[in-house]
Amino acid sequence: MNKLNQIRNIGFIAHIDAGKTTTTERILYFTGKSYKIGEVDLGTAAMDWMVQEQERGITITAAATTCTWSSNLINIIDTPGHVDFMVEVERSLKVLDGVVVIFCAVGGVEPQSETVWRQADHYNVARIAYVNKIDRVGADFFATLDQMHSHLAANAAAIQIPYGSEDSFKGIIDLINENLIQYSDDSGKKYEIKAIPEDYAAPVKKYRDILIERLAEANELIMDKFVNVKPISIEEIKTAIRRGVLVNRFIPVLCGSSLKNKGIQPLLDAICDYLPSPADVPPVKGIEPETGDYEERSVDYDAPFCALCFKTMTDPYVGRLYFVRVYSGQLTVGESVYNVAQRLNEKVTKIVHMHANRQEIVESIAAGDIAAVIGFKETKTGDTLCDKEAPILIEKIRFPEPVISMSIEPRSSEDQDKLSQGLRKLAEEDPTFTVNYNSDTGQTLISGMGQLHLEVAVDRIMRDFTIEAKIGQPQVSYRETITKKVVTTGKFIQQTGGKGQYAHVVIQMQPQEIPGTGITFRSKIKSGAIPAEFIASVEEGVMLSAKSGILAGYPLVDIAFTLLDGSYHDVDSSELSFQMAAGIAITDGLRKGCSMLLEPVMDMEIIVPEEYVGQILGDLNARRGKVNALNQRKHLRIIRVFVPLAEIFNYSTTLRSLTQGRATYSMEPSHYAEVPSNIAEKIVGVGMNVSVQKQRQVCHRR
């Protein structure tokens, strides 16, 4: 069992193609975990083990591995960079203590760099930065450093600067120890420590002074010595960097070229020196499930067991794998643990440490460990596992809503059961992949975060379950909301000769003040107007009704429901009657509240040569795009634009034809916005009944 202060649970996060998997492969090689370096472009990277990853040359699923360096055990999670697979970043950050944020020295701070940085902010994860691809044409380490300040508002400073750049990149200058690490061969294993060349004396002094200044902003001791012009030792600098990283007040920036095996050993040193161990992070927070009281669990081998299941995966040989982060206590094969969310016991039949898709069997795991457990039956992503005698419920992971859908059906009726089984397994693995049955059209609809997300899911269904399936055209996942606050009444009364049904509710509906809040329900019932046992039924009726609006059956979003009043009958009232009354009230409220259709809007960045800017802007205007920034990067222009998802299906083909293949783009979901009335009428007009059409006309006149 490793000491807690000798464990590092870290991840690599970045924009797509910044070099996360390449860096991970080099780390595995230099730490002796693998004897041969895998290459992403050749499909031989150990961490990209899925067939779909090897064919596309991108990471699709977060892969875990373990290695050792300087007596430290490093648990690594290599995450995807593509926006369609951000669920993997989200659930990884939930359980990691620190991350290495990788930036491309050519691309700088790119859109997905900003997204993963915000995600790390949300989970308050400590981080260091690594600027990769210094050897590439157009690389600019210092421009990337400036963008970290301007784009991310990070208190970042270089602790290394490159010795040479592009083709002349030969090594790394260490600003803390003030020496040069020069590599003598392409393997990256042989290097010499030399004095700093005279022609680099000025930039070294400049950036070392900046390092001390920015450290002073985060550390009082350094500030005192800096102000009073006192000497600062190397150990004091390293201690200040570590303390600044642990409280997220300072970001040390390193550099290198992972593909050329340069900069990996200093990066490993920085991971061990500066990123937190499990002993450095605050106790995990949660609630006592029965009382709702605040609880926390310290990272301690002797404390009651507590862990979070952050990922599930199907293995063709052993079945379902449940990835867990252990926060306290210990777990041994053969023991049972209590699943607080499902309120049941689960038996542990096997525990493994993962190396991508390969397994290393262990007998037990303890506080600080990340491992996979086999044997559970009902556990799902986000469930808390603990000692039944000391229960704690950790906050679940929040996942984004799917933005795109397509239909899928088997080519033969014999495959129907296999398809249903496959879709169910994928949905269990990926919370952003959902499956719904449209009773009106008889179609099975799959929904996800983008076209690539759904393409990969369909490919897995066909390969893993050997099913021939027919796929429909991608469709946008629209949403519906109201535009004003209303009070609505729902009554459900039935008399059938015997016991009847009676329920009466008064519900207030209003748009959420903060977009993205979702659907909320609360009760203001006083004096027993509705018994407490029926209030839960009202909430259930509200949530069921929120799955389908009145315009075109799309789910509701960003509405606050408040139960104000109602009445019941001692004999005739039931849970079902209050569910029905709530549904009647919601339907009426949507009409009164002037329902409107919302569409997902994407935040897109397009990098294009100067001569094609006019054609791109004209095309974006025709797609209802709203340009919010037009920046310059050397000979290129960077266009930032909000554009509806419905307008950019297969945009890559259009972009290639407009720019002769010289432009690139990336995008991520930004927000939902109202669909223009002329487009909304085309979407919902056919299925909209007469009464709803009349109500919309009244709303438009107002």
The predicted model scores a pTM of 0.74
Name the percent of the chain lying above pLDDT 70.
93
Interval 248-257: pLDDT, tens? 999 999 999 9
In angstroms, rounded to a whole number, what is the distance separating the alpha carbons of residues 260 and 187? 8
In a 10 Å sphere around its CB, with 0-12 CB exposed, 13-18 middle and 19+ buried, how is residue 270 labelled? Answer: buried
Query: What is residue 82's predicted lDDT score, i.e. its pLDDT?
Result: 75
Mean pLDDT confidence for 84-112: 89
Q: What is the DSSP string of 140-157?
A: -HHHHHHHHHHHH---EE
Q: Which of 315-329, 331-345, 382-396, 658-672 has the lowest mean pLDDT?
A: 658-672
Q: How confident is the model at residue 84 (pLDDT cuts 50, 70, 90)?
A: confident
Q: How confident is the model at residue 469 (pLDDT cuts 50, 70, 90)?
A: confident
Sign of CA dihedral 341, 347, 348, 349: negative
In angstroms, rounded to a whole number, what is the distance separating the alpha carbons of residues 130 and 270? 10
Query: What is residue 497's predicted lDDT score, i.e. its pLDDT?
Result: 64
Interval 633-661: pLDDT, tens? 767 888 999 999 888 877 877 887 888 77
Interval 611-638: pLDDT, tens? 889 999 999 999 999 999 898 876 788 8
3-state SS, residue 623: coil
φ/ψ of residue 376, rounded to 5: -70, 155
Please check the confidence at residue 393 and state whether its pLDDT lies above 80: yes
Mean pLDDT confidence for 176-185: 89
Query: What is residue 498's predicted lDDT score, i.e. its pLDDT?
Result: 66
**pLDDT higher for 62 or 491?**
491
Sign of CA dihedral 608, 612, 617, 623: negative
Please check the confidence at residue 694 and state whether its pLDDT lies above 60: no
- In sequence order, what are the residues at sequence separation of 6 or more whose Cβ sits closer than 8 angstroms to the Cβ of residue 526? none
Query: What is residue 420's predicted lDDT score, i.e. its pLDDT?
Result: 86
Partners of 559 in beta bridges: 511, 519
- What single letter denotes the amino acid at residue 642? F
Contact of 451 with 646, CB cutoff 8 Å: no
Q: How confident is the model at residue 687 (pLDDT cuts 50, 70, 90)?
A: very low
Helices (H), strands (E): how many in the chain? 17, 38
Beta strands (DSSP E) in 482-524 are 486-494, 501-511, 519-523
Interval 275-292: pLDDT, tens? 999 999 999 999 988 888
Query: What is residue 39's predicted lDDT score, i.e. its pLDDT?
Result: 62
Q: Which of 259-273, 490-504, 506-520, 656-670 has the lowest mean pLDDT?
A: 656-670
Query: What is residue 180's predicted lDDT score, i.e. its pLDDT?
Result: 93
**Measured distance between the N- and C-terminal CA atoms of the chain, rounded to whole angstroms:** 69
Mean pLDDT confidence for 549-571: 90
Query: What is residue 43's predicted lDDT score, i.e. its pLDDT?
Result: 54
Query: What is residue 699's predicted lDDT score, i.e. its pLDDT?
Result: 64
Q: Which of 83, 64, 123 is nearest to 311 (CA)?
A: 64
Query: What is residue 533's predicted lDDT score, i.e. its pLDDT?
Result: 86
Please check the confidence at residue 273 and state whether its pLDDT lies above 90: yes
Sign of CA dihedral 545, 548, 549, 555: positive
Please check the confidence at residue 664 and state whether its pLDDT lies above 50: yes
Please check the confidence at residue 440 and state whether its pLDDT lies above 70: no
Interval 8-49: pLDDT, tens? 999 999 988 888 888 998 999 889 887 667 565 555 565 666
Burial 497-533 (b: 16+ CB within 10 A, else e): eeeebbbbbbbbbbbeeeeeeebebebebeeebbeee
Name the percent of the chain lying above pLDDT 90.
41
**Mean of the per-residue pLDDT values for the chain?**
86
